[in-house]
Structure 1
Amino acid sequence: MTDCPTTPERLSTLEAKTDRVLEELAILRGSFAELDKHLAGYAKEIERMKVELNIVKLIGAWIFAPMLGMLGLGSLLAIFYAVRK
């Protein structure tokens, strides 16, 4: 006769493999949750940087727009451009 595992042994082995897979899935799920939190933090930081950049652009436009045109209408157009942005 061959050494075939009995049905209870096979079920026990299958149960052990299933438990291992479930443990690995739990670890992966935890890793993805941590990665999601990490990426959300970066998204908030990028959004904050966009707001800061827009403020810098606005201040720069107000400071340098009048210098774009030193004569009457050019100066008005430059200010209008700065306000529009």
Structure 2
Amino acid sequence: MTDLLTSDQAAALLHVSTRTLRQLRQNGLIRYIAITDRKILYRPEDCEDYIASRARKASECPSTNRRTRRTSTSTSSSTVVGFMARQAAKQNGKR
């Protein structure tokens, strides 16, 4: 028979609080054994499976990759228009 872990032991194994462990269980993210409605135990292999399911591989953010730089492909020049000039153009267009 497999040794079963209490909520405190499983939380310590996962390095989370018992409250977080309860939320993981309620969201269906970790398997558990319900001995009774109030007595919940965890198998060590289920905790290890949860840890394995959370493993991620870091990926480099493309915006910080030094090999690729953003370049402007636009050949048009932009013009800054002041707020008052824009308002005057709107007023002239309405009349």
Q: Normalising by the residue count of structure 2, what TM-score does the alignment of the two structures yield?
A: 0.29
Task: Looking at secondary structure, tell me which structure has more strand per residue.
Answer: 2
Higher relative contact order (CA 8 A, sep 6+): 2
Larger Rg: 1
